[in-house]
Amino acid sequence: MIIYNVTSNVAASVHDKWLAWIKEHIPHVLATGHFTEAKLSKVLVEEHEGAVTYSVQYRAKSREALDRYYANDAEKLRNESLRLFGDKVLAFRTELELIDEYAVKGN
């Protein structure tokens, strides 16, 4: 299983607007049909000048689905953030391969 992770460092000056926007943006990414779920997390680290860092992890249906997302949807969806927030949001993307999952029994 492939996880597409987008980590965004958000300047304090656009934080509230960006957070509202990302909560609307994630369903648009899911609507492309290439992912099964997404998780939005705040990175718990002290940032310079009040910036906040977030991670969105999208669970891809397959490697091929992620490749189709890159080919057909990624640029348009990325450009929306650039248009709205410019250099106030710095994002980088990583791909993770899930090797195994564990859970506490009885939970």
Tens of pLDDT, residue by residue over 56-83, are 999 999 999 999 999 999 999 999 999 9
Domain count of the fold of the chain: 1
From its phi and psi, is residue 48 left (phi > 0), alpha (psi between -120 and 50) or beta? beta
Per the domain annotation, does 107 fall within a domain? no
Per the domain annotation, does 16 fall within a domain? no
Structural domain span for residue 64: 22-97
Residue spans of alpha helices (H) in 8-87: 15-30, 63-72, 74-85
Whether the predicted pLDDT of 2 surpasses 90:
yes
Per the domain annotation, does 39 fall within a domain? yes
Per the domain annotation, does 30 fall within a domain? yes
DSSP annotation of 98: -
Going by pLDDT thresholds of 50, 70 and 90, the confidence category of residue 47 is confident
The closest alpha carbon to 7, from 61, 49, 47, 65, belongs to: 47
Per the domain annotation, does 88 fall within a domain? yes
State the average pLDDT for the chain.
Answer: 95
For residue 103, give every residue at least 6 positions away whose Cβ sits within 8 Å of its Cβ, in sequence order, or none.
none
Per the domain annotation, does 14 fall within a domain? no
Per the domain annotation, does 104 fall within a domain? no
How confident is the model at residue 46, as a pLDDT?
81
Whether the predicted pLDDT of 37 surpasses 90:
yes
Whole-prediction pTM: 0.91
Per the domain annotation, does 53 fall within a domain? yes
Alpha carbon of residue 25 to chain centroid: 9
